[in-house]
Chains A and B, each alone.
Chain A
Amino acid sequence: NAGVTQTPKFRILKIGQSMTLQCTQDMNHNYMYWYRQDPGMGLKLIYYSVGAGITDKGEVPNGYNVSRSTTEDFPLRLELAAPSQTSVYFCASSNQDSPRGYGYTFGSGTRLTVV
């Protein structure tokens, strides 16, 4: 079991460029999440999905888009990258009932720098 896999691990973008952060899970979890972690701050929810075809905004969705065409994949798209999007991005997944029992399974993170 690979769990939650994120790619790439590191990326440097120029202002105005676009990119997609990939996230795949092999646990058949129906819930998936994207968080960003800024230095000295807690995790902030960007977008989440409760199942294939269903996505919704979290606390800080501006500048991002997501899609969920399959249970396994939940890519995060950055359009027109800005320095404020420099952060570490974490993808996570959970079962609908497992947050209470087993919490979230996190990916290893993507460190993004926008210059």
Chain B
Amino acid sequence: AQRVTQPEKLLSVFKGAPVELKCNYSYSGSPELFWYVQYSRQRLQLLLRHISRESIKGFTADLNKGETSFHLKKPFAQEEDSAMYYCAPVNYQLIWGAGTKLIIKP
């Protein structure tokens, strides 16, 4: 099946440290991917769209077709970044990543 994989269920880093949330994909065609974030007790929200190459809340993500990856990065983590992060395919028929719980320690 064509799917997105997030290898880390939990990632814990100290405030101010760099963060990288991994996402790998297996597609037969051209991938189109998002990053979604779910803060505690809130609904899923769109964080990044790979086509826009934008930076939201200091996060960036680059689509690396050679490594089939779309890792989410932030140079300096903040406590409010603690949340669940999902790498998601644009095509709803494809399988989402299982999510990575990011914990920022003070």
Are B44's CB and A100's CB within 8 A?
no
Return the chain A residue nearest B45 by Cβ.
A106
B86 cross-chain contacts in A, Cβ below 8 A:
42-43
Q: How far is the CA of A101 from the CA of B90 in the complex (A)?
A: 9
B79 near A: Cβ within 8 Å? Answer: no
Are A99's CB and B43's CB within 8 A?
no
Q: How far is the CA of A103 from the CA of B42 in the complex (A)?
A: 17
Interface residues on B, range: 20 to 34
Contact of B93 among A40, A45, A92, A104 (CB under 8 A): A45
Interface SS majority for chain A: mixed
Are B46's CB and A102's CB within 8 A?
yes
Contact of A103 among B6, B36, B95, B99 (CB under 8 A): B36
A106 cross-chain contacts in B, Cβ below 8 A:
43-45
A74 near B: Cβ within 8 Å? Answer: no
Return the chain A residue nearest B46 by Cβ.
A103
What residues of chain A have their CB less than 8 Å away from a CB belonging to chain B? 31, 33, 40-45, 48, 58-59, 90, 92, 94, 99-104, 106-109
18 A-B pairs (CB sep. < 8 Å) = A42-B95, A42-B96, A45-B93, A58-B93, A90-B43, A90-B44, A92-B44, A99-B32, A99-B90, A99-B91, A99-B92, A100-B90, A101-B49, A103-B49, A103-B90, A106-B43, A108-B43, A109-B43
